[in-house]
């Protein structure tokens, strides 16, 4: 009997150790990947990549840099971390502003294609944050959009302060003065940035945030990681997902289930444009349909035929720009 108990205890201890090791491996693989250093932190490589993918960006960025118009901005979030963003004012004063949110292991530079859409083509002010742990922002791990939603809310307030000043002239009697008229703002995200955008949408957002555009975001962190471990490792959810989610709760203060864009969009009363490629396997296309169904009106959906993950803009630049413009101009 004692031997049975002894070996049972050893077996249980070995199982627990294996689960913890598996959970920590998953956290390292998912939340601290090497790409944070080799890709997201590498600004030169990011510019080179974007100029290669989108040749129209180079003369635009060169002209902005020559004029000193592509600028850096830093804030401290509520956790005391220093966060970075790029911003560009429109060529002519305007209230219209876009906060543009990048995806997993990307950075603000790698969203300059969407910055070009809004600033160069639609004549908006733009602000492009580096999320926690990405680009020039502090942080060591990826937050999958959940805690990032709080930082992006702070960035919307920063954008309103940057671009909402001196926009209109007010005359009273014989005196004339400049008064801040505030901004009208869209938050636009791709991939994890889209999940972040949807998480923001479920919060109490300021009145100047008028609408949202999400491009290929996931329903929840649980669903996304479940899809990945199934597709890449042929593993079921139990027990690895449960262990990893518990470890994230202990270590970082959130878990895979609560990080749910699906639950957040169900609370959103402001307009959202949903975009997804029908050949997306990284964030499977099926995820956009429950997201769209959960969101109360007003809303719109565009499925980009043949597009893989985050490729809708590159595949359909003119149509993408047109659909975004037609959507946001209804509300801004």
pLDDT higher than threshold 90 for residue 317: yes
Query: The tokens of 102 are what?
Result: 């990048």
Looking at every residue in the chain, the average pLDDT score rounds to 90
Gyration radius (Cα) of the chain, Å: 22
Tokens of 118: 């809004």
Of 105, 131, 134, 331, give the one whose Cα is nearest residue 213. Answer: 331
> What value does the mean pLDDT take over residues 216-230?
96
Examine the pLDDT at 174 and tell me if it is beyond 90.
no
Residue 232 in domain: no
239 in helix, strand or coil?
coil
pTM of the model: 0.91
Beta bridge partners of 215: 190, 275
Residue 307 to residue 285: CA distance in whole angstroms: 10
Position 36 in a domain: yes
What confidence score (pLDDT) does residue 6 get? 45
Handedness of CA 101, 106, 108, 113 (dihedral sign): negative
pLDDT above 70 for 130: yes
Residue 208, both tokens: 């100047």
pLDDT tops 80 at residue 200: yes
Range of the domain at 120: 32-168+177-220+259-328
231 band by pLDDT with thresholds 50, 70 and 90: confident
Q: What does the alpha-carbon distance between residue 306 and residue 297 come to, in Å, rounded to a whole number? A: 27
What is the arrangement of strands in the sheet containing 71-76, beginning at the earlier edge strand?
71-76, 82-88, 125-129, 96-101, 184-190, 209-215, 272-277, 299-304
243, part of any domain: no
Q: For residues 20 and 90, is the Cβ–Cβ distance under 8 A?
A: no
Pairing of strands 175-179, 184-190: unpaired
Residue 228 has pLDDT above 60, yes or no: yes
CA atoms of 233 and 270, how far apart (whole Å): 39
Mean pLDDT for 213-232 is 95
Per cent of the chain over pLDDT 90 is 81
Number of domains present in the structure of the chain: 1
Give the CA distances from residue 77 to residues 83, 89, 199, in Å, rounded to whole numbers and listed in that order. Answer: 7, 23, 17
Reduced to 3 states (helix: H, G, I; strand: E, B; else coil), residue 272 is: strand
Residue 213's SS3 state is strand
- The answer as to whether 1 is a domain residue is no
pLDDT of residue 112: 98
- Residue 186's pLDDT is 98
Q: What is the enclosing helix (H) or strand (E) of 83?
A: strand 82-88
The predicted pLDDT at position 29 comes to: 79
pLDDT in tens, 273-311: 999 999 999 999 999 999 999 999 999 999 999 999 999
Residue of 128, 37, 138 lying closest to 79 (CA atoms): 138
- Whether 133 is covered by a domain: the verdict is yes
Residue 25 falls inside a structural domain: no
CA–CA distance, 112 with 85 (Å, rounded to integer): 12
Cα 170 to Cα 179: distance, rounded to the nearest angstrom: 6
Domain of 59, CATH number, reads: 3.40.50.1820
Question: Three-state SS for 168?
Answer: strand
Averaged pLDDT, 86-100? 97
Q: Which residues pair with 184 in a beta bridge?
A: 96
In whole angstroms, what is the distance from residue 191 CA to residue 181 CA?
32
Flag whether 245 is in a domain: no
Mean pLDDT of 173-189: 73
235 assigned to some structural domain: no
**Picking from 6-10, 48-52, 287-291, 322-326, which range would have the lowest pLDDT averaged per residue?**
6-10
Q: Which tens digits make up the pLDDT trace of 41-90?
A: 999 999 999 999 999 999 999 999 999 999 999 999 999 999 999 999 99
Answer whether 129's CB lies under 8 Å from 75's CB. Answer: no
53 phi and psi angles, rounded to 5 deg: -75, -35
In this predicted structure, the answer to whether residue 26 has a pLDDT above a threshold of 80 is no
Distance CA 109, CA 162 (A): 19
């Amino acid at each position: 009997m004692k031997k049975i108990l002894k070996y049972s205890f050893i077996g249980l201890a070995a199982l627990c150790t294996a689960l913890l090791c598996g959970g920590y491996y998953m956290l390292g693989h998912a939340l601290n990947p090497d790409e944070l250093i080799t890709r997201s932190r590498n600004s030169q490589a990011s510019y080179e990549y974007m100029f290669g993918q989108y040749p129209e960006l180079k003369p635009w960025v060169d002209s902005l840099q020559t004029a000193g118009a592509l600028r850096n901005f830093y804030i401290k979030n509520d956790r005391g971390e220093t966060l970075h963003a790029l911003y560009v004012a429109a060529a002519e004063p305007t209230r219209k502003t876009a906060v543009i949110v990048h995806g997993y292991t990307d950075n603000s530079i790698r969203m300059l294609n969407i910055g070009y859409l809004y600033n160069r083509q639609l004549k908006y002010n733009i602000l492009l944050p580096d999320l926690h742990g990405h680009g020039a922002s502090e942080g060591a791990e990826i937050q999958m959009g959940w805690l990032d939603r709080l930082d992006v809310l702070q960035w919307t307030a920063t954008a309103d302060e940057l671009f909402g000043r001196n926009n209109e002239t007010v005359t009273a009697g014989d005196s004339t003065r400049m008064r801040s008229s505030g901004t009208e703002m869209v938050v636009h995200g791709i991939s994890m940035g889209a999940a972040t955008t949807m998480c923001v949408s479920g919060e109490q957002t300021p009145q100047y945030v008028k609408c949202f555009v999400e491009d290929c975001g996931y329903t929840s962190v649980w669903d996304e990681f479940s899809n990945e471990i199934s597709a890449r490792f042929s593993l079921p959810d139990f027990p690895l997902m449960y262990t990893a989610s518990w470890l994230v709760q202990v270590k970082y203060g959130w878990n895979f289930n609560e990080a749910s864009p699906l639950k957040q969009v169900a609370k959103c009363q402001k307009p959202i444009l949903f975009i997804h490629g029908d050949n997306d396997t990284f964030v499977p296309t099926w995820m956009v349909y429950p997201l769209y169904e959960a969101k109360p009106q007003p809303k719109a959906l565009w499925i980009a035929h043949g597009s893989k993950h985050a490729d809708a803009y590159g595949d359909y630049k003119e149509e993408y720009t047109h659909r975004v413009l037609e959507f946001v101009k209804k509300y801004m």
